[in-house]
Amino acid sequence: MLKNGRITLEKNVTMDYVAFGRGTRPLVILPGLGDGLRGVKGTALPMSILYWAFSKDFRVYLFSRKDPLLPSRTTRDFARDQKAAMDRLGISKADVVGVSQGGMIAQFLAIDYPEAVGKLVLCATCPQPNPTLETAVTLWMRMARRGDAMSLMRDNVERIYSPRYVKRLGWLAPIVGLLTAPSSFHRFLVMAQACLDHNALEELPRITAPTLIIGGEQDRVLTGLASYELANKIPGSRLVMYPDLGHSVYEEAPDFQSRVLEFLLEP
């Protein structure tokens, strides 16, 4: 059953989510910084198609960040919000897949609320900012402040996707940027600053959930080294690296979903 839902976390504070899948085991997917430009509201059908591989075994939930989003929010704050949303939906424990900034949030969810996380998948994410991430996010914030959605989308695509993908579909970026530009970049800027402020490095050894880390060696947003940093700090974690892919490994690797599914279904 497809569901486009909204949770009330507190007075005048809500969080949009979508849910789909025939399974009873909860799987929470936390999207990245792009959620600040286009949230999950109303996307249950396309998301169910995108993540169809999980539909048989899981009840899948994708969450946006809460609304309104006040300045100075951190990835740890976002994890607290996420736990509150899960509580509202009666999800006491879920497997969690965090992509990019979603992976930053997932780190703190597993650190601060270990009882709420079954298995953990961290994809194309990092334990703390590095110069590559700072350069990319700072540039995107400058573009957002001047309302330049077309340049923001173009640079985003060029950094996130492989050269082969960009050559084939990069021309669509300015069009997509124009069509999907939000009326305000406030949410994006708050979330972008949270990326720059994220630092879970020294707390990662507290993660007890079985953890799979997936990264691309050619990641031009936060480097492939960031995945190795995570693996070195999270006890017993597994690391899968794609030598020819970058930040969009979760979209471009043809076996990404099957790898994640295999990990989640292991006894």
pLDDT reported for residue 26: 98
Structural tokens at position 147: 């309302």
pLDDT of residue 166: 77
Residue 101 within any structural domain of the chain: yes
For residue 210, whether the previous peptide bond is cis, meaning omega lies within 30 degrees of 0, is no
Which residue positions in the chain have pLDDT lower than 50? none
Domain extent at residue 100: 3-127+199-265
Is residue 152 a part of any domain in this protein?
no
Q: Quote the number of domains for the chain.
A: 1
CATH at 24: 3.40.50.1820
> What are the Cα distances from residue 197, in Å, to 116, 144, 193, 200?
24, 18, 6, 10
**Positive or negative CA dihedral for 158, 161, 163, 169?**
negative
Tell me whether residue 72 is in a domain. yes
**What would the pLDDT profile of 73-116 be if each residue is shown by its tens digit?**
999 999 999 999 999 999 999 999 999 999 999 999 999 999 99
Domain contains 183:
no
> Is the pTM higher than 0.85?
yes
How many Å apart are CA 53 and CA 170, to the nearest integer?
27
Helix (H, G, I), strand (E, B) or coil at 64: coil
Bridge-based pairing of strands 13-20 and 58-63 is antiparallel
Instruction: Note whether residue 169 is domain-resident.
Output: no
